[in-house]
Chain A
Amino acid sequence: MTNDGSTTLEGTPNPEAPNPQLPIVQKLRIRYAKRGRMRFTSHRDFGRAFERAIRRSGLPIGFSSGYTPHPKISYAGASPTGAASEAEFLEIGLTRALDPVEVQQALNDALPEGLDVIDVVVSPGGPLADLLQASNWRIQLPDVQVEDAKSAVSKFLDLEEVIVERMMKRGLRSINTRAAVIRLAVEEETDEDGYAILDLVVRHDTPSVRPDDVITGLRNLCGLPIEKAPLATRSNQGPLDEQTGSVGDPLASDRDAP
Chain B
Amino acid sequence: MPVDSLYPRLEPLLSGVSKPIQYIGGELNSSVKDWDSADVRWALMYPDAYEVGLPNQGVQILYEVLNERDGFLAERTYAVMADMEAVMREHGIAQFTVDGHRPVRSFDLFGLSFSTELGYTNMLTALDLAGIALHAKDRTEDDPIVVAGGHSAFNPEPIADFVDAAVAGDGEEVVLAISEVVREWKAEGKPGGRDEVLARLAASGGVYVPKFYDVTYLANGQIEAITPNRPGVPETVAKHTLMDLDKWPYPKKPLVPLAETVHERFSVEIFRGCTRGCRFCQAGMITRPVRERSIDTIGMMVDNGLRASGFSEVGLLSLSSADHSEIGEVAKQLGDRYEGTNTSLSLPSTRVDAFNITLANEFSRNGRRSGLTFAPEGGSDRMRKVINKMVSEDDLIRTVATAFSHGWRQVKLYFMCGLPTETDEDVLQIGELAKRVIDTGREVSGQRDIRCTVSIGGFVPKAHTPFQWAAQLDHETTDSRLRKLRESVQADKRYGRAIGFRYHDGKPGIVEGLLSRGDRRVGSVIEAVWRDGGRFDGWSEHFSYDRWATKAAEVLEPMGVDLDWFTTRERFEDEVLPWDHLDSGLDREWLWQDWQEAIDPDGAIEVEDCRWTPCFDCGVCPQMDLDIQIGPTGRELIPLSVV
Chain A residues engaging chain B, CB cutoff 8 angstroms:
18-19, 37-38, 40-42, 44-46, 48-49, 51-56, 58, 63, 67-69, 71, 81-82, 110, 112-114, 142, 228-229
Contact = CB atoms under 8 A, between A and B. Distances in A.
Contacts of A81: 20-21
B49 to A, nearest CB: 16
Contact of A52 (B15, B26, B256): B256
Of residues B16, B20, B28, B258, which shows the largest number of chain A Cβ atoms within 10 Å of its Cβ? B258
A37 B26 contact: yes
B438 to A, nearest CB: 24
A56 B256 CA distance: 12
B24 A37 contact: yes
A210 B259 CA distance: 23
Nearest to B30: A112
The 4 closest A-B pairs by CB, nearest first: A52-B310, A229-B15, A55-B310, A56-B310
Given A40-B21, A46-B258, A52-B256, 8 more contacts: A37-B11, A37-B24, A37-B26, A38-B258, A45-B258, A68-B367, A68-B368, A71-B342
A133 to B, nearest CB: 27
Contacts of B309: 52, 56
Interface in B354-370: 366-368
Nearest to B308: A56
Contacts of A142: 12
Given A37-B11, A40-B24, A51-B310, A67 B368 contact: yes
A33 to B, nearest CB: 15
10 contacts: A18-B367, A37-B24, A37-B25, A40-B20, A45-B259, A52-B310, A82-B15, A112-B27, A228-B12, A229-B15
Interface residues of B, number: 31
B640 interface: no
B414 interface: no
B312 interface: yes
B642 to A, nearest CB: 10
B20 A55 contact: no
Nearest to B19: A42
Contacts of A42: 21
A53 B26 contact: no
Contacts of A113: 26
A158 to B, nearest CB: 29
B264 interface: yes
B232 to A, nearest CB: 48
Interface of B: 7, 11-16, 20-21, 24-28, 256, 258-260, 264, 306-312, 342, 366-368, 643
Nearest to A230: B15
Contact of B366 (A19, A48, A56, A228): A19
A37 B98 CA distance: 12
Contacts, number: 75
Given A18-B366, A44-B260, A56-B307, A69 B11 contact: no
Nearest to B13: A229
A48 B312 contact: no
A49 B256 CA distance: 8
Nearest to A232: B15
A152 B157 CA distance: 61
A52 B25 CA distance: 17
B368 A48 contact: no
A38 B256 contact: no
Given A110-B310, A229-B15, A67 B367 contact: yes
A55 B312 contact: yes
Contacts of B306: 55
Given A54-B310, A56-B309, A229 B16 contact: yes
B310 A229 contact: no
A19 B26 contact: no
Nearest to B312: A55
Contacts of B11: 37
Nearest to A82: B15
B407 to A, nearest CB: 12
Nearest to B27: A112
A40 B260 contact: no
A82 B310 contact: no
Contacts of B308: 56
B643 A49 contact: no
B307 A48 contact: no
Contact of A114 (B15, B26, B311, B367): B26
A61 B11 CA distance: 35
Nearest to A44: B260
A207 B256 CA distance: 34
A54 to B, nearest CB: 7
Given A63-B342, A69-B342, A228-B12, A112 B367 contact: no
Contact of B260 (A45, A51, A112): A45
B406 to A, nearest CB: 16
Contacts of A63: 342
A82 B256 contact: no
Contact of B310 (A53, A68, A69, A114): A53
A68 B368 CA distance: 8
B11 to A, nearest CB: 7
A112 B342 contact: no
B409 to A, nearest CB: 13
Contact of B643 (A38, A52, A55, A82): A55
A58 B7 CA distance: 34
Of residues A19, A40, A110, which shows the largest number of chain B Cβ atoms within 10 Å of its Cβ? A40
Contacts of B366: 18-19
Contacts of A19: 342, 366-367
Nearest to B369: A67
Given A38-B26, A110-B310, A112-B26, A48 B367 contact: no
